[in-house]
A and B are shown apart, each in its own frame.
Chain A
Amino acid sequence: MSDLLIARARAALFEVIDPELGINIVDLGLVYDVQVNDDHATIKMTLTTPGCPLHDSIKNGVKSRLMLIDGINHVTVNLVWEPAWTPANMSSRALEKLS
């Protein structure tokens, strides 16, 4: 059940879009880890830069989207700055869109 919820959570995060870049946070390489224990999802993620004005919006977006999944009733988003985000985190899709 937990593995299924993790897979659903990962898939759902593709729908959380960075409104400045128009690219989802998974393809941007912002999501480091997704864990689900019972009905509690814990996301470890970063942003492209500390002090990003979209800090709260993206974080709340992650929470909102995951709360829509049946079986997830609590969401914790841990923003981390190490390891720092690098362009190498991005998918080929994201790179293609930027270029």
Chain B
Amino acid sequence: MIKMIPGGSLNSSTNIKIPLSFIILGLTAFVGAQIILLFNYGELSISQFRTPAVWSGAHVLLLGFAVMVAMGAMYQLVPVAFLTPIWNETFAVIQLVITAIGFGVFSVLLFVNPGSAVYGGACAVIGILFFVFQMFKTLLVKQDKNTMFFFVIGALVALFAAIIGGFMLALHLAGASAGNHQPILFSHIALGAAGWFTLLIFGFSYKLVPMFSLSHGYSESRSKPALLFYGTGLIILIGSFWTSISVINMIGWGLLFTGFLLFALDIREILAKRLRKRLDKPFAFSLFAIPVGLTLHGLALVLSLFHVTNAAVWSWLVFLYVMGWVVLSILGYLYKIVPFLWWTHKYANMIGKEKVPTLKDMINEKRCVYVLSSFIIAVLGITISALAGSGMFVLLFQTVLVVTALIYALSVIKIFFV
């Protein structure tokens, strides 16, 4: 029995300009977010996250950088991973423009006039709705629905719910009465950071980790339980925000930790069965983010078991989770995704005709190690300094983070000149 692809070509890859536009805008926002936080380091020093400046910096980082890059990566990876082309590329360009304007206006208004942020928020919601619609139209034509499919669908549902929650919070800032503020805020953070980003990273890790490590003969046996535990944990955790019943909160965190642990064990098995013994350094950093994320989930569980409700402690835990798990994963994977995109654009038609560089030739691995190490040191430095109450060291490490972000962005842009 031989299975063939009729005609041999899938032609499923997306026009390079779409993912690259998202990624370049995302890199700009990455640097911008760090600069905003640098100028407002004083608020970080006293663990004050709920101020217009920090809201703005956080949303430039999460929406402008992380969500934009995730969208760009999905436009590139969904077609090749699911073997189905993007539903409508013109619609993707329209979505890019609306989303970029929405995120930009929303983040700026959060800083200068939070009461009017809802207008930018409305535009951001439309952009995200367009993206979710595009992805559903793309994915639902797929007949064989694998684990990765369900993770991505779960992530998209969480993104949609997170953005609706965010819009309700923006309505609160505008003075409207739109539900109970605190449970909406906590649900918004959980759905965004844990739901959308984590489920997305889980899903794509099941595809990318075996590919980058050339692993063979692994089982993925824990993938469905991981999704079930993590998804259920998320729902129960959100339920605890609305009911204020601590035992439900503990169960929610327990299930989330279990889901993350099952995912981590699967990745460990994949890596144990890899043929490529020396992994690319940026990819190794993305893998390092997994134990970081697992540890932070464990800490969250412990905090809930001991009824710790200190806002500063939880704020820094969320900060570490975003930076140490979400952002570090993205930074590492971008060093793989961007060279691939550019290589496909520039060299794919030369393969077999003349000598072309390998993907590894397109980046300076040593510099990647320095940059990503510097990122980790800066994030840890900011957290420890703030918890120790040292504003001077927060300023120092936030400055390191700005420089690191700038060098990182330039090192990615440099790939386009290879």
Please give the residue numbers on chain A whose beta carbons come within 8 Å of chain B beta carbons, in ascending order: 12, 15-17, 19-22, 48-66, 68, 76-82, 86-87, 90, 95, 98-99
Instruction: Enumerate chain A residues within 8 angstroms of B360, measured Cβ to Cβ.
Output: 22
> What's the Cα separation between A22 and B82 when bound, in Å?
25
Is the CB–CB distance between B356 and A19 below 8 Å? Answer: yes
Assuming the contacts A16-B352, A17-B358, A19-B351, asked whether A99 and B277 have C-beta atoms less than 8 A apart, the reply is yes
Assuming the contacts A51-B83, A82-B3, asked whether A19 and B357 have C-beta atoms less than 8 A apart, the reply is yes
Main secondary structure of the interface of B (DSSP, over half): loop
> What's the Cα separation between A98 and B77 when bound, in Å?
25
Return the chain A residue nearest B83 by Cβ.
A51
Contacting residue for A80 out of B2, B214, B358, CB 8 A: B2
Assuming the contacts A19-B357, A77-B8, A87-B216, asked whether A58 and B2 have C-beta atoms less than 8 A apart, the reply is no
CB distance from B88 to the nearest CB of A (A): 20
Instruction: Enumerate chain B residues within 8 angstroms of A60, measured Cβ to Cβ.
Output: 348-349, 351-352
Is the CB–CB distance between A80 and B4 below 8 Å? Answer: yes
Q: Which of B9-17, B52-60, B192-200, B314-322 has 4 or more CB atoms under 8 Å from chain A?
A: B9-17
Is the CB–CB distance between A78 and B80 below 8 Å? Answer: no
The 8 closest A-B pairs by CB, nearest first: A65-B352, A61-B351, A61-B352, A64-B352, A57-B348, A53-B80, A22-B358, A81-B3
Given A76-B8, A87-B275, 18 other A-B contacts at CB below 8 A? A16-B351, A16-B352, A19-B357, A20-B340, A21-B276, A21-B358, A50-B83, A51-B83, A53-B80, A53-B344, A55-B80, A57-B343, A60-B348, A62-B352, A64-B350, A65-B351, A87-B216, A99-B277
Is the CB–CB distance between B275 and A57 below 8 Å? Answer: no
Which residue, of A19, A54, A58, A80, has the highest number of chain B Cβ atoms within 10 A? Answer: A19
* Contacts of B196-234 to chain A: CB distance below 8 A: 207, 210-212, 214, 216
Is the CB–CB distance between B351 and A58 below 8 Å? Answer: yes
* Contacts of B249-275 to chain A: CB distance below 8 A: 275
Is the CB–CB distance between A53 and B340 below 8 Å? Answer: yes
State whether the Cβ of B245 lies closer than 8 Å to any Cβ in chain A: no
Is the CB–CB distance between A57 and B344 below 8 Å? Answer: yes
Is the CB–CB distance between A53 and B77 below 8 Å? Answer: yes
State whether the Cβ of B384 lies closer than 8 Å to any Cβ in chain A: no
Instruction: Enumerate chain A residues within 8 angstroms of B216, measured Cβ to Cβ.
Output: 48, 86-87
Assuming the contacts A49-B210, A64-B351, A82-B2, asked whether A20 and B359 have C-beta atoms less than 8 A apart, the reply is yes
State whether the Cβ of B141 lies closer than 8 Å to any Cβ in chain A: no
Instruction: Enumerate chain A residues within 8 angstroms of B2, measured Cβ to Cβ.
Output: 80, 82
Which residue, of A51, A55, A77, has the highest number of chain B Cβ atoms within 10 A? Answer: A51
Write the B83-118 contact mask toward A (1 if CB under 8 angstroms, else 0): 100000000000000000000000000000000000
CB distance from B356 to the nearest CB of A (A): 7
Is the CB–CB distance between B276 and A98 below 8 Å? Answer: yes
> What's the Cα separation between A68 and B80 when bound, in Å?
28
> What's the Cα separation between A56 and B344 when bound, in Å?
9
> What's the Cα separation between A48 and B343 when bound, in Å?
19
Instruction: Enumerate chain B residues within 8 angstroms of A20, measured Cβ to Cβ.
Output: 211-212, 340, 358-359
Instruction: Enumerate chain A residues within 8 angstroms of B358, measured Cβ to Cβ.
Output: 17, 19-22
State whether the Cβ of B366 lies closer than 8 Å to any Cβ in chain A: no
Assuming the contacts A20-B359, A22-B358, A86-B216, asked whether A78 and B4 have C-beta atoms less than 8 A apart, the reply is yes
